[in-house]
Amino acid sequence: MSPSQTTDRRAAAEGRAAFARPARRRRQAPLVAVAAAFLAPAFISLLVLRIAPAAVALWESLYRQSFLRGGTVFVGVENYADLFGNADFNNALLVTLLFSLVVNPLQIGAAFLLAVLYTRKAAGAKIWRSLVVLPIAVPPAVSAVVWSVIYRPDGLGNSFLSLLGLPAQPFLTSPQQSLASIMVLLSWIGVGYWMLFLIAGINDVPTELYEAASIDGASAWRKLWSVTLPLVRRPLAFVLVADTVSNFLIFAPVQILTKGGPSGSSNLLMYDIYTRAYTLGDLSKAQAEVIILVLLTLVIVAVQFRLLRSSDTA
């Protein structure tokens, strides 16, 4: 502790020596210049590494490789039109929407119920809660790799099914089960994380409200429905949107577990973009697909701001 403090003090003293005097001299130095100096590294990196690639994708999605003339030619929205006429893309879009419609309510419902469970008085609630949160430390690729062994025909998943007296399932190799298997894996990863936000929301609900409801003779379910749920709608709205956006961007489990298959049944948009760009080598259509994905997520976020604003005024 003490050596770091001394270096701190020394650095600070040097800082004062180096900067204080010039600063006094340029007391009138324009604030914009000072701010620009502080902002430049982060601002430039955001412009070049976040906004520029999006702009490039938008630009290139309007062009197409021309073999006749060499180079690229402007084609307007033709790449987009082609995409919407492409069976593989339409399938990916459909799979992604179906996936979102199922996985988001499932995860948020589970996260909410778990948040309610783990805010009740019970033995060891904090310990059990942290076990549910534990998977957020696991990198997505590691989760996918571990679950790839669980889902093997001779893996842990089928051992549990046989313990329950159920027949062995194919999981990842079945077109009917591949997407559901990925949903289970993602819920194992994500539910604990979203639960944290909802627990914070539930802890903010004043206990007097529950006491008042008890005096009015409300049952536990009634209290959950009429007191807890309305009062955590702000964190709920945030979780709904953040979860939806993150689930639009699922890539590692698909790439590691199913490669989008069997027969396109787990081909989520991010993976479709990846194969379009690198396996099919159709970069301009891949860029158009990137733009579609970015717009999709921006629309969801815009809805969030709407939701939060209206719940503020309500």
Does residue 68 touch other proteins according to CB under 8 A? no
Does residue 32 touch other proteins according to CB under 8 A? yes
Q: Interface with other proteins by CB under 8 A: which range of 67-75, 78-86, 111-119, 211-219?
A: 111-119
Q: How far is the CB of 30 from other proteins (least distance, A)?
A: 8
Structure-block tokens of residue 304: 């969030």
Is the bond leading into 140 cis (omega within 30 degrees of zero)? no
Structure-block tokens of residue 186: 């993602």
CA distances from 201 to 116, 191, 231 (A): 10, 15, 8
Q: Interface with other proteins by CB under 8 A: which range of 18-26, 75-83, 92-100, 205-213?
A: 18-26
| Of the residues 213, 294, 303, 307, which one makes contact with other proteins according to CB under 8 A | 294
Q: Interface with other proteins by CB under 8 A: which range of 16-24, 69-77, 100-108, 206-214?
A: 16-24
CA distances from 293 to 78, 165, 237, 290, 305 (A): 17, 43, 21, 5, 19
Q: How far is the CB of 217 from other proteins (least distance, A)?
A: 13
Q: Interface with other proteins by CB under 8 A: which range of 75-83, 95-103, 112-120, 172-180?
A: 112-120
Q: How far is the CB of 294 from other proteins (least distance, A)?
A: 5
Cβ atoms of 136 and 193 closer than 8 Å: yes
| Of the residues 83, 132, 179, 202, which one makes contact with other proteins according to CB under 8 A | 132
Residues 6+ apart with CB under 8 A from 157: 150, 151, 169, 171
Cβ atoms of 250 and 21 closer than 8 Å: no
- 108: exposed, middle or buried (Cβ count in 10 Å: 0-12, 13-18, 19+): buried
Footprint (CB under 8 A) of other proteins, residues 185-244: 188, 192, 196-197, 200-201, 235, 238-239
Tell me, residue by residue from 138 to 177, as one string, x for binding to other proteins by CB under 8 A and - for no binding: xxxxx-xxxxxxx-x-xxx-xxx-xx--------------
> What type of residue sits at position 76?
G
**How many Cα atoms are found within 13 Å in the side-chain-facing hemisphere of 123?**
0
| Of the residues 54, 73, 77, 81, which one makes contact with other proteins according to CB under 8 A | 54
Footprint (CB under 8 A) of other proteins, residues 247-286: 248-249, 251-252, 255-256, 270, 273-274, 277, 283, 286
| Of the residues 1, 49, 87, 314, which one makes contact with other proteins according to CB under 8 A | 49
Residues 6+ apart with CB under 8 A from 42: none
